[in-house]
């Protein structure tokens, strides 16, 4: 059974320095509140896994929480570069960041293999590509039945997976819908899982075949309304496109970035305090 608890307690209890952590959400339901809490609690030396390390990982990398990044597309969607990720890769700031990169089909398959307790995933790709030269975790195998050459990548098995979802019931069963990305696979591949939700309800009213994660597959469920902002939660709120555009300016310069993190994350108590400070910054047109 997942424990219904605060996000602070969940991160404190389940995420440790040096852990491998996957925060998933394919542009939808990105667990920003949880990412901020990781920064607030000064977690270090994390190996971050995420198919699309957008603004959430730019914040974690720039704040010095990461040692390594495993990913398949690292940009600010619809805007451009992730400046903190680029600064880390191009200039080792704030520290050297080891990168291991894949393609989306590859990494999503690696989560499936992790959830299925298989050592590796197999796919048709990468022949002719230079990615395998730089990533020793992309290799080729021969099919034992047909002799065909296929690409193989090791399963992803995070110590902790963190996702955001729409609803949980009072036992901690979680319902999510809309664009689902690899959230379910990421939870089932992990040793421990933390899920933040928009609301806790008496009854999920989920139709058969809906994407429901049973309470006993997760460690903690935390009610954090708005916890995916500035990304969106289908049925609750829309994507804050202006913030993604503003992030380009905030993150471009090291000092501007560090001041923003200090004021909005390190000096706020939790996500609801963060949202208040952010709204004030927006009024002053600082964001």
Partner 1 sequence: MSSANYTTTEMMTIAASRLLKNGAVCFVGIGLPSTAANLARLTHAPDIVLIYESGPIGAKPEVLPLSIGDGDLAERADTVVSTPEIFRYWLQGGRVDVGFLGAAQIDRFANINTTVIGDYRKPTTRLPGAGGAPEIASCAKEVVLVLKQSARTFVRKLDFLTSVGHLDGGDSRKKLGLPGKGPVAVVTDLCVMKPDETTRELTVTQLHPGASRDQVQKATAWEIQFAADLKETMAPTEAELCVLRDLLHRTAVAHDQVPAA
Does the footprint of partner 1 cover residue 78 (CB under 8 A)? yes
Does the footprint of partner 1 cover residue 77 (CB under 8 A)? yes
Q: How far apart are CA 168 and CA 200, in angstroms?
A: 5
Q: How far is the CB of 31 from partner 1 (least distance, A)?
A: 14
Instruction: Tell me which of 68, 139, 234, 252 binds partner 1, using CB under 8 A.
Output: 234
Q: How far is the CB of 17 from partner 1 (least distance, A)?
A: 26
Contact 188, 145 (CB under 8 A): no
Does the footprint of partner 1 cover residue 267 (CB under 8 A)? no
Q: How far is the CB of 142 from partner 1 (least distance, A)?
A: 11
Please, what is the end-to-end C-alpha distance for the chain in angstroms?
40
- The one-character DSSP state at 155 is P
The burial class, CB within 10 Å (0-12 / 13-18 / 19+), for 269 is exposed
Instruction: Tell me which of 128, 144, 207, 208 binds partner 1, using CB under 8 A.
Output: 128
Q: Which of residues 131-150 bind partner 1 (CB under 8 A)?
A: 131, 134, 148-149
Element (H, E) at 254: helix 254-261
Instruction: Tell me which of 100, 120, 123, 286 binds partner 1, using CB under 8 A.
Output: 123
Tokens of 155: 């399963």
Q: Which residues contact 76 (CB under 8 A, 6 or more apart)?
A: 54, 55, 58, 82, 244, 247, 248
Does the footprint of partner 1 cover residue 159 (CB under 8 A)? no
Query: With respect to partner 1, which residue has the nearer C-beta, 238 or 249?
Result: 238
Q: How far apart are CA 49 and CA 68, in angstroms?
A: 8
Tokens of 30: 């990105």
Does the footprint of partner 1 cover residue 81 (CB under 8 A)? yes
Q: Which of residues 18-57 bind partner 1 (CB under 8 A)?
A: 26-28, 51-52
Closest CA relative to residue 196, chosen from 212, 177, 174, 213: 174
Does the footprint of partner 1 cover residue 161 (CB under 8 A)? no
Contact 217, 190 (CB under 8 A): no
Give the range of 31-39, 98-106, 220-228, 252-260 binding partner 1 by CB under 8 A.
98-106
Q: Which residues bind partner 1 (CB under 8 A)?
A: 26-28, 51-52, 71-75, 77-78, 81-82, 85-86, 89-90, 101-106, 108-109, 111-112, 123-131, 134, 148-149, 178-182, 184-185, 232, 234, 238-239, 241-242, 244
């Amino acid at each position: 059974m997942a424990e219904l608890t605060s996000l602070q307690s969940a991160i404190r209890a389940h995420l440790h320095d040096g852990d491998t952590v996957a925060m998933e959400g394919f542009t939808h339901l990105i667990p920003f509140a949880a990412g901020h809490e990781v920064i607030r609690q000064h977690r270090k030396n994390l190996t971050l896994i995420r198919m699309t390390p957008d603004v959430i990982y730019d914040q974690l990398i720039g704040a010095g929480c990461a040692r390594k990044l495993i990913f398949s597309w690292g940009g600010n969607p619809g805007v451009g570069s992730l400046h903190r990720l680029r600064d880390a890769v191009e200039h080792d700031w704030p520290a050297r960041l080891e990168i291991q990169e894949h393609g989306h089909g590859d990494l999503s398959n690696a989560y499936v293999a992790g959830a299925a307790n298989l050592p590796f995933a197999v796919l048709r790709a990468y022949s002719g590509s230079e990615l395998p030269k730089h990533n020793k975790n992309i290799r080729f195998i021969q099919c034992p039945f047909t002799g065909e050459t296929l690409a193989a990548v090791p399963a992803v098995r995070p110590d902790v997976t963190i996702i955001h979802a729409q609803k949980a019931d009072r036992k901690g069963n979680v319902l999510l819908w809309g664009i689902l990305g690899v959230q379910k696979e990421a939870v089932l591949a992990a040793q421990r899982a933390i899920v933040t939700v928009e609301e806790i309800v008496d009854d999920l009213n989920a139709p058969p075949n809906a994407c429901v994660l049973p309470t006993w597959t997760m460690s903690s469920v935390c009610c954090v309304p708005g916890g995916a902002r500035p990304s969106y939660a289908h049925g609750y709120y829309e994507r804050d496109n202006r913030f993604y555009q503003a992030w380009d300016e905030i993150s471009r310069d090291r000092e501007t970035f560090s001041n923003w993190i200090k004021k909005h994350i390190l000096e706020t108590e939790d996500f609801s305090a963060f949202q208040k400070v952010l709204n004030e910054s927006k009024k002053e047109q600082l964001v």
